Amino acid sequence: MISVSGPKMYEVDHDLFEPLQAKVIPHTQMYQTIDVDPDKLVLHAYSSEGALLDGFQLEKKDGRSVYSELAKPAA
């Protein structure tokens, strides 16, 4: 995850990083919250204005990690 919290932003080397990323949100200030429970990790990414931009959940089930996208709020 690459994130920017201030106004100064640098270009990302797309050839290097984009193949490794599921999603790219360029030129956007954002912050993340991470909630951790014994069997679950939930990440939310927000714009600096507080709008939910993305999120996912990792949950341990039967000894395996299960990834799921979080639903976006209705606009």
> What is the distance between the alpha carbons of residues 62 and 57, in angstroms, rounded to a whole number?
16
Query: What pTM did the predictor assign?
Result: 0.73
Q: Tell me, rounded to whole angstroms, the distance of Cα 13 from its chain centroid.
A: 18
The number of CA neighbours under 13 Å toward the Cβ of 75 is 1
Per the prediction, the chain carries an average pLDDT of 83
Query: Could you read off the pLDDT of 42-75 as tens digits, one per residue?
Result: 999 998 899 998 899 999 999 999 999 887 765 5
Instruction: List Cβ neighbours of 3 (8 Å cut-off, separation of 6 or more).
Output: 30, 31, 32, 45
Each domain of the chain, given as residue ranges in start order, spans 14-69
Residue 19's φ and ψ, nearest 5 degrees, are -65, -20
